[in-house]
Amino acid sequence: MSFLTTPDGTRLRISDRGDGPPILLVHGWKGSHRLWDRTAERLLGRHRVVRFDLRGMGESDKPRGPYDFDRMADDVGAVIRQLELEDVTLVGWSMGCTVSLSYLERDGHGVGRVVLTNGPLRLTRADDFPHAMPAEQFDGYLAELAGGWPASEREFQRESLLPDADPAILDWLYAVALQTPLDVALEIVRAQARLDMRAAVARLRVPVLAAYADGDPYYPTSLADHIAACAPDGRAVIFRASAHCTPIEEAPAYADVLSRFATDPDSLPTS
């Protein structure tokens, strides 16, 4: 099966391969299932690995909208139900963290544990939440993205990688990002900016792993500690050799952590 159709008629591009305890991978803003290639390849043989393109992105349909996180959460539910996934490890990367937490708040069927990787609980700082970018930095990103598209997108992707990253990886990220129309990208991130998922973490009733990188320019490792402390059953792992793209830049170590967590969450220390 290469595509799955949601109840509202949107076709989602999916990849469903391998056998074993299931892992569902949810990509981030302007991403696609292909950005999980390095991690997925290392999980196959141990796990059933399911990944898909969020609506409006990658090879999935790009309907008129609206694009909000209730709809994307429902798309996660459609994938889980139509593929009959049970006790799945739900893994969100970047904006995929918001999608995953939205699904757990809205539905949660079939999920046995969740991994949050290099993603926000809210996009901008608050007086009681320093683990995000200042509002002016966020506004600047959006203004630069819209005003300089598509060259601005390449610069955005460059900042997501370590300075010495292989140029081929930057080319790959950029090509995938251009599959998302600019208007869709802006509508999605503006919807995300209205959300605050801190309470959602505190309400989780499944084991939670916060996997963050100390080279990430957007989300500090202090956020991993915050999630691990706030979740009823939380733990954190910090990666030392990646920026925002840990599933690409540290795929072997990252895949090993996912596999351990998917099969035995207690093998990783709790907060």
Residue 270: inside a domain = no
Residue 187: inside a domain = yes
Output the pLDDT for position 269: 77
Output the pLDDT for position 270: 73
Considering just the CA atoms, what is the radius of gyration of the chain in Å? 17
Q: Please, which contacts does 199-202 make with residues 24 or more away whose CB atoms are closer than 8 Å? A: 200/101, 200/102, 200/104, 200/105, 200/121, 201/101, 201/121, 201/227, 201/230, 201/231, 201/234, 202/230, 202/231, 202/232
Please check whether residue 110 is in contact with residue 43, taking contact to mean a CB–CB distance below 8 angstroms. Answer: no
Q: Which residues of the chain are under the pLDDT cut of 50?
A: none
Q: 């910090």: which residue's tokens?
A: 238
Q: pTM higher than 0.95, yes or no?
A: yes
Residue 21: inside a domain = yes
pLDDT digits (tens, 9 = 90+) for 136-160: 999 998 999 999 999 999 999 999 9
Phi, psi dihedrals of residue 32, rounded to the nearest 5°: -160, 175
DSSP string, 76-95: HHHHHHHTT--SEEEEEETH
Output the pLDDT for position 21: 98
Q: How far apart are CA 202 and CA 231, in angstroms?
A: 5
Report the CATH number at residue 177.
3.40.50.1820
Full domain range(s) for residue 131: 3-265
pLDDT digits (tens, 9 = 90+) for 186-213: 999 999 999 999 999 999 999 999 999 9
Residue 102: inside a domain = yes
Residue 271: inside a domain = no
Indicate the number of domains in the chain: 1
